[in-house]
Amino acid sequence: MERKFLGGLASSGKKEKMYYSTYAGGAWKITLASDGENLCGLWNGDHKHVYKNMEKRDDLPIFEKTKKWLDRYYAGEKPNLNELPLAPAGGEFRQTVWKILCEIPYGQVITYGDIAGIVAKKMNKTKMSAQAVGGAVGHNPISIIIPCHRVVGSNGSLTGYGGGIKTKIKLLEHEGVEMSRFFIPVKGTAL
């Protein structure tokens, strides 16, 4: 089933009031961001992409719903991301990539190159840059729920996670991914 993101934040261009709450479950503290109705951001303390000037609001229903989703995820369940109203802000290309991320099954991985092939087909192009896809994956504002941690390099490299390689490994191990075929790169821009 194709994931339908809400388009308001992605396309309106107007500044929305943003709120945040924190979640202490799992292995690290997580910050949640919302426009008041939709989940717009989710990152751990080390994540690179953070909204500025947010107001703390722990009482929003979307935060309660997201925290329950995360509780279930960390308890080993496989909650459906369609249970949450998601509104990641980004242009058409990024939205396309994020929708593909949502189709990666729990406990499985896909390569940047594979995603590039899917995007090229959707856009009626002969090919697409895996690096461009990597940029879109790296700017996913709703990590874990939009599972960017499930994307790996074609050679088995675990590069490219905004929350850090250690976090990516913990999430993949939590989902039962066989890790013996993967490695941490010793150099690169996405470490």
Length of the chain: 191
Give 22-26 contacts, CB < 8 A, sequence gap 24+.
Answer: 23/66, 23/67, 23/70, 25/67, 25/70, 25/71, 25/74, 26/70, 26/73, 26/74
Beta strands in 92-183 (DSSP E): 110-111, 151-152
d(CA 174, CA 5): 26
Which of 9, 30, 148, 152 is labelled catalytic? 148
The number of beta carbons lying within 10 Å of the beta carbon of residue 77 is 11
d(CA 81, CA 147): 10
40 is catalytic: no
Q: Is 166 left (phi over 0), alpha (psi -120 to 50) or beta?
A: alpha
In the numeric block, which tokens belong to residue 134?
């990597």
d(CA 112, CA 152): 6
Active site (catalytic) residues? 148
